[in-house]
Amino acid sequence: TSVTGVQTCALPISNQKKLSVKTGSFPYSVRKAVTHLRTADAVLARLIRQVGPFRMTINQTQDVFLALAESIVYQQLHGKAAATIFKRVCDLFPRSGGHFTARDICRCSDERLRGAGLSLNKMLALRDLAAKTLDGTLPAMSELALLDDEAIIERLTSVRGIGRWTVEMLLMFRLGRPDVLPVDDYGVRKGFMLAFNKPAMPTPRELKSYGQSWAPYRSVASWYLWRAADQAKSGK
Question: End-to-end distance of the chain based on CA atoms, in angstroms?
Answer: 18
Residue-wise pLDDT tens digits, 142-180 = 888 899 999 999 999 999 999 999 999 999 988 899 999
What's the number of CA atoms in the CB half-sphere (13 Å) around residue 208?
Answer: 7
User: pLDDT tens-digit profile of 51-106?
Assistant: 999 998 888 777 899 999 999 998 888 788 999 999 999 999 998 887 899 999 99
State the amino acid at position 39 in one-letter form.
T
CA 19 to chain centre: 14
Residue 110: active-site member: no
User: Distance between CA atoms of 236 and 228, rounded to whole angstroms?
Assistant: 9
Rg of the chain (C-alpha set)? 18
Out of 41, 128, 179, 185, which one is annotated catalytic?
A: 185
Are 160 and 131 contacting, i.e. CB atoms less than 8 angstroms apart? no
Percent of the chain with pLDDT over 70: 88
List Cβ neighbours of 122 (8 Å cut-off, separation of 6 or more). Answer: 72, 73, 75, 161
- Helical H segments across the chain, by residue range: 30-40, 42-51, 64-74, 79-91, 102-107, 110-115, 120-134, 141-144, 149-156, 164-173, 186-195, 204-210, 218-234
pLDDT exceeds cutoff 60 at 210: yes
